[in-house]
Amino acid sequence: MISLQKIAKTFQTKDGDVTAVDHVDLTVDEGEIFGIIGYSGAGKSTLIRLLNMLETPSSGDITVAGKNMTTLTKKELRKARQEIGMIFQHFNLLWSRTVEENIAFPLEIKGVSKGEKKKRVQELITLVGLEGRGGSYPAQLSGGQKQRVGIARALATNPKVLLCDEATSALDPKTTDSILDLLVDINKKLSLTIILITHEMHVIRKICHRVAVMENGQIVEEGPVLDVFRSPKEDMTKEFVKQVTEPEETEEAIAHLFKDDGIGHVLQLTFVGSDAKRSLITDVVRRFDISISILQGKISQTRDGSYGSLFVNVTGEKTVIEEAITYIKEQKVDVEVIH
Ligand code: ADP
């Protein structure tokens, strides 16, 4: 379905050339869910944008659904793009349009008749589970619902391929799971080929068949997800594999550790696109008369904020701890009291 051959992209900037994608070869089969993981700056966004020619490659060939994208005329490219849907981290919805109008937008551009458009929009609303919300505006929806609109809009023209650009990175863990379930559902129902990029290994593990690990514009390791998890070869891959812990098991183990021994509470702090950094802990300890120690977890900082979760042990007076929790929540960090 998709084949990249020696694809490279160099940006000319005032500080010199930046090679974002460095001679990548990649093949994705029809009906596959393929994940690309890498830290910020690895070249993932550029690679995915090359697939629908939002970026023009400096060299190499890109074939999608049998078409060599690099040789198409503008008109042919417009048509070829209807075969490739895309969803984004921040949804990219039209805020002044309703859910129905957002989903109808690509159909209007395609010149679909009014009757057909109405029918198709209703089908899509049912497919993504947004029945009864067709007349709402994006601002009236939750993050998960917004992404459902994004998915419905991306599928409006019946694409063969769906590109997902950090599509769950702005969502909390539960909503992330429900959106990933929806992606698996439409992958099966529509035999849709899905490529997703992410910096979160649990996303890869939950739904991808194969994964490629990107570093400095290159794919450093690639394979079936289970194989990569069982025996990661590159250091970068090992780091990502380590990222994934079993949250339930960890919660239970930690809660058990601190059960009834009177040495404080265990909290799970979840950072999702938050401005707060690890230094938040130091800040909280300075502001409130409590002590906090980090038990386990990891947060990573990207240009879009901090992501990840920490389990911490807190000791201090109950009311002071409560005040501290309120303060932490104000920093857009989700707090769950485990024990
Ligand atoms: P990722 O999605 O993995 O975070 P990107 O593809 O966004 O990585 O970026 C890869 C590299 O290319 C980075 O060094 C980034 O600064 C650079 N880059 C991306 N887009 C542009 C651009 N339009 N102009 C100049 N440099 C860019």
- Indicate the pairing of strand 59-64 with strand 67-68: antiparallel
Q: Are residues 23 and 7 in the same domain?
A: yes
Q: What is the mean pLDDT of residues 47-52?
A: 95
Give nearest CA residue, ligand 1 atom 22: 11
Distance CA 196, CA 274 (A): 22
Number of Cβ atoms within 10 Å of the Cβ of 78? 12
Query: Which residue, among 21, 31, 109, has the nearest Cα to 58 in the 3D structure?
Result: 21
Which pLDDT belongs to residue 259? 47
**What atom in ligand 1 is closest to the CA of residue 49?**
6
CATH code: domain of residue 309: 3.30.70.260
Work out the percent of the chain whose per-residue pLDDT is above 70. Answer: 94
Number of Cβ atoms within 10 Å of the Cβ of 291? 11
Q: Are residues 309 and 206 in the same domain?
A: no
> If you measure from the C-alpha of residue 140 to the centroid of ligand 1, how many angstroms do you get, rounded to a whole number?
33
Give nearest CA residue, ligand 1 atom 21: 11
Distance CA 91, CA 198 (A): 15
Which pLDDT belongs to residue 316? 85
Pocket test for ligand 1, best of 21, 40, 46, 89 (most atoms within 8 A of CB): 46
Residue at token pair 């490629």: 212
Express each pLDDT in 128-140 by its tens digit: 999 999 999 999 9
The answer, yes or no, to whether residue 174 has pLDDT greater than 80, is yes
Q: Can you give the residue range of the structural domain that contains 303?
A: 247-337
The answer, yes or no, to whether residue 187 has pLDDT greater than 80, is yes
**What atom in ligand 1 is closest to the CA of residue 302?**
4
Q: Are residues 30 and 171 in the same domain?
A: yes
45 or 254: whose pLDDT is higher? 45
For 230-299, the DSSP string reads HS--SHHHHHHHHH---HHHHHHHHHHHTTTSSS-EEEEEEEEEES--TTHHHHHHHHSSEEEEEEEEEE
The answer, yes or no, to whether residue 95 has pLDDT greater than 50, is yes
CATH code: domain of residue 197: 3.40.50.300
Q: Are residues 197 and 283 in the same domain?
A: no
> If you measure from the C-alpha of residue 22 to the centroid of ligand 1, how many angstroms do you get, rounded to a whole number?
12
The number of distinct structural domains making up the chain is 2
Q: Are residues 167 and 282 in the same domain?
A: no
Instruction: List, chain by chain if needed, residues with CB within 6 Å of any ligand 1 atom.
Output: 11, 13, 18, 20, 38, 40-46
Ranking 125-129, 206-210, 313-317, 322-326 by mean pLDDT, the lowest is 313-317
- Is the pTM higher than 0.90? no
Express each pLDDT in 226-267 by its tens digit: 888 888 999 999 888 887 755 555 565 555 555 444 567 888
